[in-house]
Amino acid sequence: MPRAPDISVVINNYNYGSFLPRAIDTALAQRDVRAEIVVVDDGSTDDSHAVIAGYGDRIRPVLKPNGGQASAINAGVAASTAPLVAFLDADDWWAPDKLSAVVSAFRQAPRAGLVYHRLQPSLSDGTPAFRAIPRSLCSGDLSRRLVRSGGRWPYPMTSSLSVRRSAWDDAGAIPDRFRISADAWLTGVVPFVTEVVALPEALGFYRIHNNTWFRQQDDRQMLARRMAHWAATADVTNAFLAERGRSGRLRVTDHLDYQAAALRLGHEGHPGLPRLLWLALTTPGEPNPLRRLRETQRLVSGLRHPVPDSPQTRDAT
């Protein structure tokens, strides 16, 4: 009888058939670990189904109607069997020792339910785009930091996140409203139920391309969408905390990125420049004082330039 897997890999995919093979191949190529690979296709209309079928019984396919990233990840976790679960976006890929490092970290920290590492932002040909992210790392009990910062911290992205199944069960499945950026639940709510371990190595690669969130330069539409996302994440987190009888609530007035976007867009009730600069210099959302200073300098530089209209608006004029 084959031994049970140490860790399950959940790959979520929607119309990334051209990227998906690299993600699957690097999950299958992991060294010194027993892993099961669950590939969830969220109603793709490209060749993703054919790509998935080509791997035969080396992976466990989950084919579902389109429902968004949260529903895809939830379906993948439900289909998985290991006590640990690692997440991988279909447009990213991993280093070959990623899973063994994650499994080792969980074994060394039995109280931790969330392990993450840095990702190397890279172009599709593998060329590094800029330094590994997040720059600052946070471990331990992060709940107080999240409350004081409005939920902002140097959080990792989906392809660097792994959870203990007990922590996943404690937090609950990701709400379906997170059709994109479902990692906001993993990085925003899971730290309230468990300790966190950060690994300093860049054990994965974040593909830079013109996807839903990435832009070389933020435009007004993108900033507005991000503000709405941050506000929704705070609302969902606060509802979770209230349901659990936990003290403390997130306030977007403490969220530096939200407040900076409000000022740049000229929204009513924005904090004003003096308040924003003080928030940037003192925010617990960035634990490194030198990086807080650099963020403040970049913020001041960005405020000198108007936010461009969205591409759709420019095309219509």
| pLDDT tens column, 169-188 | 999 999 988 888 899 999 99
Q: Which of 153, 180, 207 is the last residue of a domain?
A: 207
152 vs 261: CA distance, rounded Å: 14
Number of H helices, E strands in the chain: 12, 8
Instruction: Write out pLDDT tens, residues 153-162.
Output: 998 999 999 9
Question: What per-residue confidence (pLDDT) applies to 180?
Answer: 82
Q: What is the pLDDT of residue 317?
A: 27
Residue 308 confidence (pLDDT): 82
- Both 226 and 189 in one domain: the answer is no
- How many domains does the chain fold into? 2
Structure tokens at 293: 């200073």
Is 120 a residue whose pLDDT tops 80? yes
Would you place residue 310 in the very low, low, confident or very high pLDDT band (cuts 50, 70, 90)? Answer: low
With a pLDDT cut of 70, the percent of the chain lying above it is 94
Domain-ending residue, one of 207, 241, 257: 207
Range of the domain at 302: 220-310
Provide the pLDDT for residue 215.
Answer: 54
The whole-number pLDDT of residue 214 equals 55
Q: Average pLDDT of the chain? A: 92
| CA nearest to 311, candidates 179, 180, 217 | 217
Query: Residue 216: is its pLDDT beyond 60?
Result: no
Residue 306 phi, psi dihedral angles, 5° rounding: -65, 150
- Mean pLDDT, range 287-292, rounded to an integer: 96
Secondary structure (H, E, C), 184-206: HHHHHCHHHCCEEEEEEEEEEEE
**Residue 209: per-residue pLDDT:** 82
- Same domain membership, residue 171 and residue 112: yes
* 228 & 192 share domain: no
pLDDT in the model for residue 212: 46
Q: Grade residue 315 by pLDDT with cuts at 50, 70 and 90.
A: very low
CB neighbour class for 294 (10 Å; exposed up to 12, middle 13-18, buried from 19): middle
**Same structural domain for residues 259 and 295?**
yes
What's the CA gap between 285 and 155, in Å, rounded?
A: 9
Mean pLDDT over residues 72-93, rounded?
Answer: 98
- 23 in any annotated domain: yes
Domain assignment present for 82? yes
- Is the per-residue pLDDT at 312 higher than 70? no
7-27 confidence digits (pLDDT tens): 999 999 999 999 999 999 999
Beta sheet of 161-164, edge-to-edge order: 60-64, 35-42, 7-13, 84-89, 161-164, 112-122, 195-207, 93-94
Check whether residue 146 and residue 228 sit in a common domain. no
pLDDT over threshold 70, residue 314: no
Residue 3 has pLDDT above 90, yes or no: no
Structure tokens that stand for 66 in this block: 């389109």
Mean pLDDT to the nearest integer, 278-291 = 96
